[in-house]
Amino acid sequence: MQALIKRWIISGLLLITQVANATPESRFNMPRGVTPISNAIYDLHMAIFWICVAIGVIVFSVMIYSLINHRKSLGVKPATFHESVKVEILWAIVPFFILVVMAIPATRVLIHMEDTKQADVTIKVTGYQWKWQYEYLDEGISFYSSLATPIEEIHNKAKKNEHYLLDVDHEMVVPVGKKVRLLVTANDVIHSWWVPQLGIKRDAIPGFIHESWMRISKAGVYRGQCAELCGINHGYMPIVVRAVSEKDYEAWVKKERDDITAAEALATKTFSAKELMEKGKSVYENVCAVCHQINGLGILPVYPAIKGSSVSVGKPHSRHIDIILHGRNAMPAFGAQLNDFEIAAVVTYERNAFDNNTGDVIQPSEVKARRNVKPNVNQKTAKKKPINHHHHHHAS
C-alpha cells in the first residue's frame, strides 16, 4: 500500500513538472506571448504556480504521511487536545506572509500594464455588434474590421479553413518594436478586446475608455476574439493584429490614406447597373446575410426579410438609403461604416435581387446627398400593404 501511494506521489510530481515546463505552444500552459506585458504575466503566472506547487506538496505530503502512519489498523490512538493557540497563530501568519510574497510581484505587473505613457502610436478601439473599429489618432486613419470567413463555411457548405471564424477583412497593423497605446471602448453593448499572445484583454464598455499598451517584439499575425458575450453574433467578431517592420508600417499608412481618398472620389462617379450589382452582392453577403440570410428571407420575427419588403421595393428609394445610413430601431447606422459607393451598391442589389426586380439603379452621388438630410424613415411607400420593415444588421 505504501509503495503504491509513493508511486502515485512521484507520478503526480512528474505531471506537475511537465505542465510547468510546457512550451507556449502546449495546450497545458498559457502562451508566453510577444510583448512585455505578456512576458510579465507569464512569469508572474509561473511564479505563483510554483508557490502553489510548494504549498500543495507540503500539505499533501503531511496528509498522506499521516494517513499511512497513523492508521487505526496500526493501533494508533488519536490525540485528545482540543486546540492550540500557537498553531492557530502560525496558520494565520504563514498564509499572510505567502500572500504578501505573491502580492508584491503582482502589483509590479499591474503597474507595468497601466503605464501607457510615451506611446509611439495611439489607436482607439471601438466594439460594435459585431465588429471592431480602429482609429489611428495620429495618422488620421479609421476603418472597420469585420469577419471575413465565407458564409459557405459557416453554413457547412464548404470546408472550414485553418483560421475559421478568425479571419477579418481589414487587419489592425502595427510597427514592431514601437509602443502602441490602445484606447478601448464600445458603441452599443459591452465587448472585450482579447488577444492572448499580446497579453491584452480589455473590456470595451460604452461611455468608458480603458487603456492598455503593447510593444510587439516579433513580426507576425496574432489573432484573438471578443471575450464578452455580446449578442447573437458574439462568435463572429474576431481580432487580427499584424505586426510589421517600421518601413512596411509607413507604406501601409500611405496606402490606407490613399484608399480613403479613392473612396471619397467614388462619390462623384457614375457606375453601371452591373458594377453596382456585383459590388452590392459582395457587401450584402459580408455585412447583411447572416441576419437577413443569403436568400433575403430573413429570420422572422427578429430579422425581417429583404425579399418583398416594403422598403426594398417601395418608393421613394431614398427611404431605403436613409435606413442604411442612419439606422432605425434595432437596426444600427452604417453611414460611418460603409462609403457612398458601398451603400449605393447594396441598395441597388437589394432592390433588384430576390425577385424584387424594381429596376432601380442608385448612384453614390444620391447617397452622398442624403448623408446630411434628416431621415424620414416613416415616409409612406408606394405599396398599399407593407410586408416587412427593413432592418439591416451587420453580419459580423
Task: Give percent of the chain above pLDDT 90.
Answer: 51
Report pLDDT digits (tens) over 94-125. 999 999 999 999 999 999 999 999 999 999 99
SS3 169: coil
Q: How far apart are CA 382 and CA 314, in angstroms?
A: 5
What pLDDT, on the 0 to 100 scale, is given for residue 85? 87
Considering the domain delimited by 269-370, tell me its CATH architecture. Orthogonal Bundle (1.10)
CA torsion sign for 143, 149, 151, 155 is negative
pLDDT surpasses 70 at 126 = yes
C-alpha grid cell for residue 195? 488577444
Report pLDDT digits (tens) over 366-377. 998 888 777 654
C-alpha grid cell for residue 301? 420575427
pLDDT surpasses 50 at 357 = yes
pLDDT surpasses 70 at 386 = no
Kindly report the CATH number that applies to the domain delimited by 121-265: 2.60.40.420
What pLDDT, on the 0 to 100 scale, is given for residue 49? 93
Q: At what angle do helices 340-352 and 273-283 cross, to 10 degrees?
A: 100
C-alpha grid cell for residue 184? 478601448
What pLDDT, on the 0 to 100 scale, is given for residue 163? 92
Q: How far apart are CA 134 and CA 343, in angstroms?
A: 20
pLDDT surpasses 80 at 280 = yes
What pLDDT, on the 0 to 100 scale, is given for residue 24? 47
pLDDT surpasses 90 at 218 = yes
Q: Lowest mean pLDDT of 78-87, 94-103, 147-156, 387-396, name the range.
A: 387-396
Q: Lowest mean pLDDT of 41-45, 70-74, 279-283, name the range.
A: 70-74
> What is the mean pLDDT of the segment spanning 25-42?
86
Task: Give the residue with greater pLDDT, 315 vs 177.
Answer: 177
Average pLDDT, rounded, for the chain: 85
What pLDDT, on the 0 to 100 scale, is given for residue 2? 55
Report pLDDT digits (tens) over 325-341. 888 877 778 887 888 89
> What is the mean pLDDT of the segment spanning 244-270?
90
Task: Give percent of the chain above pLDDT 70.
Answer: 88
What pLDDT, on the 0 to 100 scale, is given for residue 291? 79
For the chain, what are the domain ranges? 2-113, 121-265, 269-370
Confidence of residue 87 (pLDDT cuts 50, 70, 90): confident
Distances (CA, A) of 111 to 185, 200, 331, 363: 21, 14, 41, 53
Q: How far apart are CA 202 and CA 214, in angstroms?
A: 12
> What is the mean pLDDT of the segment spanning 149-154?
84
C-alpha grid cell for residue 363? 448612384
What pLDDT, on the 0 to 100 scale, is given for residue 71? 85
